[in-house]
């Protein structure tokens, strides 16, 4: 395989595609709403109307407006250009109506989602640029939209140090938690002595309300594989692992298919693009332990051990999988890499804010009108996301708080909604970017109950290795339960606060260190709700 062969495959695929493509979302969210029956109805209508030569029904990944699934988008290409029309809440019956409208050239009775729908107002898809556009099970469609061009450019035109310099200049930071500079992490692994090195993709997405990584892997798995391969070349690795939770069967299936296809085309395996570069990827399926999202626990699990963290240093970049230097990034971080290589660091760094470059993918859920997957430039405000894109609380309700960062994050109160999204701004509010879960709460939500929910999650997910987390989360949960039962005292409230800081400051790993964050942030902004529960 060389670049000219890749371009030939891309052109053949573009020539193959008919003028009308009916794209049916068959990602997990829409499938749960009946998308498979909708797709079957679309195919039956095309067959009945003998439209097979001009109309193609295809499965695609997430079309983003998940709360209105099943979703179908009709793409029509003509001399005048390409037009895309999105339809929501599609049933098998009105699916047939859509095909009839195509055949007769008349408008369908099913109303379309307006092109200027507020949910899409601020979106700037980079990670999600192919999501909902291509069939994730056909490598040819990924190649047709520029897939694997970045890998070819890297292997044939750039030295490893040049790739790291480009990623560093882009300002990309890790999208899985604290936002560590990606280029710096890559450079650390690259500087280690030659020998066995690994790249790992952390797809162990476990935050309640989070489905960003799952959607990317279901919708565009080759993009993540390409990003991993570029990273492997840059740091001197030849073996990669994708660690993904078993609760994501569709994402796992799409990854398995993608790896086989990439091998068949010579885009993975030995001598990729006819160069000395070899790269192999294996999938490791986790059993659903939240703590395995912590990188040292993830490493232990891949090695076949119990998924528990270990003290750092040494960091995985120095001594990771089987004591070899190991690069660990999450799904979204790798998915940014091909676009940065294709379009340049200056293009990427011009997006976002001074300290937070590029875009961020969020899963918008909770008490909000429009739920789904969004990708917005860093610097977009919380209010723009929740009230404009999300449409605010249904039935005229009022936003009370927005939870970001999952169990490791905190709650942003309504009077802070004009805060621009960035790593520093969220940390200043006592929360964090995290992987991107964003849960909206209305005025009827008890913030003490929210804190209890997350503490229950953390105590259940604690690996039990260190006492502050193992015992502290249980005690914090007990104090919250006591307050909500009306049996708490002023002393219990003081104890809750001091214990939260003790657990945060003395736990071994990130899970324990961040577990009290929902308690600390709700105490900071909603203390009156706690005080109202104190009996004496």
Burial class (CB in 10 A: 0-12, 13-18, 19+), 195: exposed
**Residue 78: per-residue pLDDT:** 87
**Residue 433: per-residue pLDDT:** 86
Q: Which residues contact 52 (CB under 8 A, 6 or more apart)?
A: 46
- Higher model confidence: residue 436 or residue 218? 218
Quote the CA–CA distance of 393 and 412 in Å, as a whole number.
15
What is the residue-averaged pLDDT of the chain?
A: 95
Residue 529 predicted with pLDDT over 90: yes
Quote the CA–CA distance of 517 and 512 in Å, as a whole number.
10
Residue 536 predicted with pLDDT over 70: no
Q: Are 17 and 60 in contact (CB under 8 A)?
A: no
Confidence of residue 193 (pLDDT cuts 50, 70, 90): very high
Q: In Å, what is the CA distance from 12 to each residue of 5, 277, 503? A: 11, 27, 59
Confidence of residue 406 (pLDDT cuts 50, 70, 90): confident
Residue 451 predicted with pLDDT over 80: yes
Q: Which of 297, 303, 304, 305 is nearest to 321 (CA)?
A: 303
The string of pLDDT tens digits covering residues 470-493 is 999 999 999 999 999 999 999 999
CA 472 to chain centre: 30
Residue 213 predicted with pLDDT over 90: yes
The size of the chain, in residues, is 536
């Amino acid at each position: 395989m060389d670049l000219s062969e890749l371009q030939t495959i891309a052109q053949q695929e573009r020539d193959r595609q008919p003028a009308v493509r009916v794209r049916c979302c068959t990602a997990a969210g829409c499938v749960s709403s009946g998308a498979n029956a909708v797709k079957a109805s679309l195919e039956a209508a095309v067959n009945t109307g003998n439209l097979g030569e001009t109309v193609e029904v295809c499965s695609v990944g997430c079309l983003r407006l998940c709360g209105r699934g099943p979703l179908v988008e009709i793409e029509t290409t003509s001399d005048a250009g390409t037009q895309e029309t999105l339809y929501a809440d599609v049933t098998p019956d009105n699916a047939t109506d859509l095909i009839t409208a195509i055949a007769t050239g008349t408008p369908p009775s099913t109303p379309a989602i307006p092109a200027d729908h507020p949910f899409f107002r601020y979106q700037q898809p980079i990670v999600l640029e192919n999501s909902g556009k291509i069939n994730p099970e056909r490598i040819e469609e990924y190649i047709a939209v520029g897939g694997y061009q970045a890998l070819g450019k890297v292997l044939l035109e750039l030295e490893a140090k040049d790739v790291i310099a480009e990623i560093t200049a882009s300002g990309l930071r890790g999208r899985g938690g604290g936002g560590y500079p990606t280029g710096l992490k890559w450079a650390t692994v690259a500087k280690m002595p030659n020998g066995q090195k690994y790249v790992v993709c952390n797809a162990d997405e476990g935050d309640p309300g989070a489905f960003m990584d799952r959607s990317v892997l279901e919708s565009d798995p080759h993009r993540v594989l390409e990003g991993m391969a570029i990273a492997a070349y840059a740091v001197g690795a030849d073996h990669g692992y994708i660690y993904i939770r078993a609760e994501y069967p569709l994402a796992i299936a799409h990854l398995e298919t993608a790896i086989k296809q990439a091998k068949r085309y010579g885009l993975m395996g030995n001598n990729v693009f006819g160069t000395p570069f070899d790269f192999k990827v294996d999938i490791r399926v986790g059993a659903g332990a939240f703590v395995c999202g912590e990188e040292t626990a993830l490493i232990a699990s891949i090695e076949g051990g119990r998924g528990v963290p270990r003290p750092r240093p040494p960091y995985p970049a120095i001594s990771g999988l089987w004591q070899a230097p190991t690069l660990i990034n999450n799904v979204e971080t790798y998915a940014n890499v091909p676009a940065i290589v294709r379009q340049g660091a200056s293009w990427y760094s011009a997006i976002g804010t001074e300290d937070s470059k590029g875009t961020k993918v969020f899963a918008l859920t909770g008490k909000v009108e429009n739920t789904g997957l969004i990708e917005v430039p860093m610097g977009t405000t919380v209010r723009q996301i929740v009230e404009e894109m999300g449409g605010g609380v249904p039935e005229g309700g009022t936003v009370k708080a927005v939870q970001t960062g999952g169990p490791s994050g905190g709650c942003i109160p309504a009077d802070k909604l004009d805060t621009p999204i960035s790593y520093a701004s969220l940390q200043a509010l006592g929360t964090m970017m995290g992987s991107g879960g964003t849960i909206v709460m209305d005025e009827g939500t008890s913030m003490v109950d929210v804190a209890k929910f997350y503490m229950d999650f953390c105590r259940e997910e604690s690996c039990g290795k260190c006492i502050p987390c193992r015992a502290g989360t249980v005690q914090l949960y007990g104090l919250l339960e006591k307050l909500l039962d009306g049996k708490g005292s002023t002393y219990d409230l003081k104890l809750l606060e001091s214990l939260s800081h003790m657990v945060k400051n003395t736990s071994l790993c990130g899970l324990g260190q961040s577990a009290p964050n929902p308690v600390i942030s709700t105490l900071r902004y909603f203390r009156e709700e706690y005080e109202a529960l104190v009996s004496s």
